[in-house]
């Protein structure tokens, strides 16, 4: 009985194994016989349960990559912003030239700078004109004084000078006119006093003429710094609408340019004025010597006139 059961179990096992082998052979055999390539994706169909198991360890590996990318993004943005700031700073530095600052300044600051530039031009024009004028008149007066140094009378002095138009010629002409108008007057003191008054008027007129333009130099030298300071204050007020130094700094630089213009106009004007004050003083001293020479010639003529009259009276 037991043996029969064993035989039955063995027979069932063999049948089952055979049937399983036949079923497996049937399952494997149709796959290579399929002519279309579309049947190939059927092979991975049983593998979806395996893919999550293999992809699970990969997920933690990719997870740190996201923060790294997130960290790289701010670094890239920071570097780009830094490069933009550097470029903007470079542009700003390039734009801080005197001409660009003048163009970007306020309209009133521009007017102040233009006025100060014109004042500087006037200063140098007066310098060139007065240098030429003073050198010419000083040379003429020295030459005229040398010519009349040996003259004995007003007539000889006028003949030595000729028809030259100079301050010494005007002094000699005033002396001769006073002597002619005072003919027949026996008081020499009155003639000399009236002649001295005429000489003083001529000297004052020559001083006013030779100092022409120096008052303008004094005005430019005294007021230009304050005019430039006014332009600076106005420019700072017009640009100081924010507390951001990067925004206010160019406006302050433009405003300070007005102060620079004021100093450029004022410093040469003061130096030139002081120089001309010394030169003019020396020239007026020469004019004073010419006035004294004319007065001496007039005194000699008066003495000769009275001496000849006394001689004729004695005869």
Show me where the domains of the chain are located: 108-314
Q: Structure tokens of 14? A: 């063999």
Confidence of residue 282 (pLDDT cuts 50, 70, 90): very high
Cβ-Cβ contacts under 8 Å for 172 (sequence gap 6 or more):
148, 154, 157, 158, 161, 294, 297
Asked if 283 and 137 touch (Cβ cutoff 8 Å), the reply is: yes
Is residue 135 predicted with pLDDT exceeding 60?
Answer: yes
Q: What percent of the chain has pLDDT over 70?
A: 62
pLDDT score, position 248: 65
Please give the backbone phi and psi of residue 282, each rounded to the nearest 5 degrees, phi first: -65, -40
Report the distance separating Cα 34 and Cα 36, nearest Å: 6
pLDDT in tens, 9-52: 456 555 555 554 555 455 444 444 444 444 344 444 444 444 44
Confidence of residue 286 (pLDDT cuts 50, 70, 90): very high
pLDDT (average), residues 151-174? 87
User: pTM of this prediction?
Assistant: 0.63
**Mean pLDDT across the chain, nearest whole number?**
74
């Amino acid at each position: 009985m037991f043996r029969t059961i064993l035989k039955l179990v063995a027979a069932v096992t063999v049948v089952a194994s055979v049937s399983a082998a036949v079923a497996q052979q049937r399952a494997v055999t149709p796959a290579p016989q399929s002519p279309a390539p579309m049947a190939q994706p059927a092979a991975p169909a049983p593998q979806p349960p395996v893919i999550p198991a293999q992809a699970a360890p990969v997920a933690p590996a990719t997870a740190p990559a996201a923060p790294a990318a997130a960290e790289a993004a701010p670094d890239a943005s920071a570097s780009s912003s830094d490069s933009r700031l550097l470029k903007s700073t470079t542009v700003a530095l390039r734009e801080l030239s005197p001409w660009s600052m003048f163009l970007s300044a306020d309209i009133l600051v521009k007017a102040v700078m233009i006025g100060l530039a014109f004042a500087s031009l006037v200063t140098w024009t007066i310098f060139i004109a007065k240098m030429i004028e003073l050198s010419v008149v000083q040379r003429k007066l020295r030459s005229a004084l040398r010519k009349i140094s040996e003259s004995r009378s007003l007539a000889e002095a006028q003949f030595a000078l000729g028809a030259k138009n100079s301050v010494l010629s005007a002094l000699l002409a005033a002396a001769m006119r006073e002597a002619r108008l005072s003919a027949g007057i026996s008081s020499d003191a009155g003639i000399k006093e009236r002649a001295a008054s005429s000489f003083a008027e001529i000297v004052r007129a020559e001083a006013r003429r030779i100092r022409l333009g120096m008052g303008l130099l004094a005005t430019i030298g005294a007021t230009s710094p304050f005019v430039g300071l006014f332009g600076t204050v106005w420019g700072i007020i017009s640009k100081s609408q924010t507390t951001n130094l990067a925004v206010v700094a160019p406006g302050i630089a433009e405003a300070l340019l007005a102060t620079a213009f004021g100093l450029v106009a004022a410093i040469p004007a003061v130096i030139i004025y002081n120089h001309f004050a010394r030169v003019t003083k020396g020239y007026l001293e020469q004019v004073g010597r010419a006035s004294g020479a004319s007065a001496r010639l007039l005194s000699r003529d008066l003495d000769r006139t009275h001496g000849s009259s006394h001689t004729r009276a004695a005869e």
